Amino acid sequence: MSALLGVVLLTLTACSGGGSGDPEPDDRSAETAEVSISVAPDDGATGVATSGELTVGAEDGTLTEVRVTDPEGTEVSGELTEDATGWAPSEALANDTEYTVAVVGENAEGTEGTRTTSFTTLAADATFTSNWNISDGAEVGVGMELSVTFDTPIENTDAVRDAIRIVTEPPVEVRGHWFGNQRIDFRPEEYWAPGTQVDIQLRVRGVEGAPGVYGTAREDIGFTVGRSQVSTVDVNTLTMDVVRDGESIRSIPVTTGAPGYETWNGRMVITEKLVETRMNGDTVGYGGEYDIPDVPHAMRLSTSGTFIHGNYWGGGVFGNSNASHGCVGLRDVQGAGDPGTDAAWFFANSLIGDVVEVVNSNDDIIAPDNGLNGWNMSWDEWGV
């Protein structure tokens, strides 16, 4: 028996030794360490912060799948490191929510390892709501700005700004600017290019806007930029030149603010369209100077009450004299029923987000936060 065993051992040595010298190592028999998967926070942890604590890592291998889900099965988006050995969420987590972390990794030999944990995030002391001005799927003019407002003052303005992500096609840089601590507007440096698709990810949920106060909004919306239309109102000539896609398509006689009621200068964006509306001087600090219940074809240019609208009571002022209380008036008829008037034509041919620029008025340039009029700020100022 011993002799036979010796023969077998000699034979194996001869086969694996390559004929002479020290034997070559056999890679097939080399041991490979199992992938080690780490998850923070620990399994079963409670009171976990909504940002900055969740991380996944791999040693002696790489991560091939990371799924973080809430009780409804909604996944948290995240990003792998370039070498696939780490993962972190790309958005804040919801407050007071249990999350399950399921991870798959593999070592250099392709052998898989798995790990599953769970944890619960901290509850919010208070929450803040977010409201925005553009409906999903809207077609807008080239001057549209995304404006997001909050129902409580924001202290961590950078964190909230960064949680509102905007992607465009074709690509263009978009910056946000805070007006005070409850409103942030977003726009590119120049007017949007016609046809631009704008996709917005509101990821404010779980973002701590102020100590103990967390956001609740998590929504995706998008809008499309239509044709370019920019109309210039010249107070000296009392005309409005309507330019579409670089070509002047109509010149319209207008009336603007009378002495003492001058119309703002500057670039203003149409934010609202009303076939008929009541205009009362009491609402804008002019007392009982006027109260017109049926102003036709009214389009808002400022929060403070500047409109471009139809006027059926002005007689022959259009193109001849300035007679308004600061609005831009166009010839119209009572009841807004005549599609052939200048006001009806302009109303039908305008989009929310179109630009109306007033020049040569004796008033100041309109404030950038009086409506969606941030185009009156330089790009350098806007990024601050």
Using alpha carbons only, how large is the chain's radius of gyration in Å?
A: 33
**DSSP bridge pairs for 251:** 241
**Full-prediction pTM beyond 0.85?**
yes
Please compute the mean of the pLDDT values over residues 372-382 and round it to a whole number: 97
Please compute the mean of the pLDDT values over residues 185-204 and round it to a whole number: 98
pLDDT value for 20? 42
Q: Which amino acid type is present at position 111?
A: T
Q: What is the pLDDT of residues 126-171, one digit of tens each?
A: 999 999 999 999 999 999 999 999 999 999 999 999 999 999 999 9
* 309 in catalytic set: yes
Please compute the mean of the pLDDT values over residues 331-344 and round it to a whole number: 97
Please compute the mean of the pLDDT values over residues 171-187 and round it to a whole number: 98
Sheet holding 55-59, edge to edge: 36-40, 55-59, 86-89, 78-80
Please check whether residue 14 is in contact with residue 7, taking contact to mean a CB–CB distance below 8 angstroms.
Answer: no
Sheet holding 197-203, edge to edge: 138-140, 218-225, 197-203, 164-169
**DSSP bridge pairs for 330:** 254, 310
CA angle 72, 76, 80 (to 5 degrees): 150
pLDDT band of residue 8 (cuts 50, 70, 90) is very low
Please compute the mean of the pLDDT values over residues 359-379 and round it to a whole number: 97
d(CA 258, CA 226): 34
Q: What is the DSSP string of 87-152?
A: EEESSPPPTT-EEEEEEEEE-TT--EEEEEEEEEEPPPSEEE-EEES--TTEEE-TT--EEEEESS
Q: What is the pLDDT of residues 312-335, one digit of tens each?
A: 999 999 999 999 999 999 999 999
* 325 in catalytic set: no
pLDDT of 376 > 60? The answer is: yes
Q: Which is the catalytic residue, given 177, 297, 325, 327? A: 327
Q: Rounded to whole angstroms, what are the CA distances from 168 to 5, 103, 249? A: 75, 32, 29
d(CA 214, CA 302): 31
pLDDT band of residue 24 (cuts 50, 70, 90) is low
Lowest mean pLDDT, pick from 22-31, 140-149, 172-181, 239-248: 22-31
Q: What is the DSSP string of 284-314?
A: GT-TTS-EEEEEEEEEE--TTS-EEEEESS-
Task: Share the mean pLDDT of the chain.
Answer: 91
pLDDT value for 17? 36
H or E segment and range at residue 159? helix 157-162
The Cα diameter of the chain in Å comes to 126
pLDDT value for 291? 82
Q: Residue 186: name the closest of 140, 232, 129, 128 by CA.
A: 140
Q: What is the pLDDT of residues 65-111, one digit of tens each?
A: 999 999 999 999 999 999 999 999 999 999 999 999 999 999 999 99
Please check whether residue 265 is in contact with residue 361, taking contact to mean a CB–CB distance below 8 angstroms.
Answer: yes
pLDDT band of residue 31 (cuts 50, 70, 90) is low
Strand, coil or helix: 342: helix
Walk me through the domains of the chain, giving residue ranges and CATH numbers: 34-121 (2.60.40.3780), 126-225 (2.60.40.3710), 229-382 (2.40.440.10)
Please check whether residue 63 is in contact with residue 104, taking contact to mean a CB–CB distance below 8 angstroms.
Answer: yes
pLDDT of 7 > 50? The answer is: no
pLDDT of 2 > 60? The answer is: no
Give 49: exposed, middle or buried? Use CB within 10 Å, 0-12, 13-18, 19+.
middle
Q: Which amino acid type is present at position 311?
A: N
pLDDT of 1 > 80? The answer is: no
Please enumerate, as own/partner, the contacts of 219-222 that have beta carbons within 8 Å and a separation of 24 or more.
221/132, 221/134, 221/135, 221/136, 222/136, 222/137, 222/197, 222/198
Q: At 211, list the tokens.
A: 């100590």
Q: What is the DSSP string of 164-181?
A: EEEEEES----EEEESTT
Please compute the mean of the pLDDT values over residues 369-374 and round it to a whole number: 98
